[in-house]
Amino acid sequence: MNTLTIIETGQAPEGIRADWPSYPAMFETLLAPHLPGWTYQSVALSRGQTLPDPAGLDAILITGSPAGVYDDVPWMTSLMDFIRWAANAQVPQIGICFGHQAIAHALGAKVAKSDKGWGIGRHVYDVIAAPSWMRAPPPDTFSLGVSHQDQVLTLPPGALQVARSDFCEFAALAYPGANAISFQGHPEFSPGFSCALYGVRKGTRFSEDMVEDAEQSLQTPIDNDLVGAWMAQFLLRAGT
């Protein structure tokens, strides 16, 4: 039996936290239909829990976070070391949103706030490479809900650019030599949660018009289950 260790690097805003599952629970809901027999454990890194030895883990998933890779928070350096150790040990890793940026940064990319500003709502990505975990032939595009201003700005050494958009050039990456994949979008976020997240930030990070446009965009279906199936196939093909 394999276990996915979910590194929780953030929580939903306090105003909506009680109304929705935790981020690790969202990922378990997304992946469980595609990974029968797997178990899940979480490490609340952003709340003070200590990272385990990655060499003893079956697989790792790093969640989204309000933090940026450049932030001076107590756990950031240890997370970057953990990612590099896991890559050297060939432990399968998946990164989502902040996790996507963290893996890229740890493995040599530039990550920073984008001059394009915040991306929210439903974003559509062009598939430009088709690793085996995509179960060829993949669609030409896929869509996810997003909430990010930081972006991966350079391709990490040894990485493969899997998907892109005009807003986000490095929207999905694969690391054949490091046994890792990552996505900027949020396959674990339901449209309802995304809209709640945007709503609680209306008038601070996001204008009313931005939120209205984002909520309307999410009335069009998104590809959470497809991306969840890709993530599961990556784990199953990674020798875990």
Nearest to 86 by CA among 184, 181, 179: 179
* Helix or strand (DSSP H, E) at 130: none
28 is catalytic: no
Q: Among this protein's residues, is 186 annotated catalytic?
A: yes
Q: How far apart are CA 183 and CA 175, in angstroms?
A: 12
**215 catalytic per annotation:** no
Of 8, 100, 186, 195, which residue is the catalytic one? 186
Q: Which of 28, 97, 148, 195 is catalytic?
A: 97
Q: Spell 193-215 as b/e; 16+ CB within 10 A means b.
A: bbbbbbbbbeeeebeeebbeebb
The torsion region of residue 97 among left (phi > 0), alpha (psi -120 to 50) and beta comes to left
Q: Active site residue: 100, 168, 188, 195, which one? A: 188
Cα torsion through 157, 163, 167, 170, rounded to 10 = -10
Q: Report the DSSP pairing between strands 111-113 and 93-96.
A: unpaired
Instruction: Give the full edge-to-edge strand order of the sheet including 59-62.
Output: 39-43, 3-7, 59-62, 93-96, 180-183, 172-175, 160-164, 119-127, 141-148
Cβ proximity of 112 and 153 under 8 Å: yes
Known catalytic residues are: 97, 186, 188
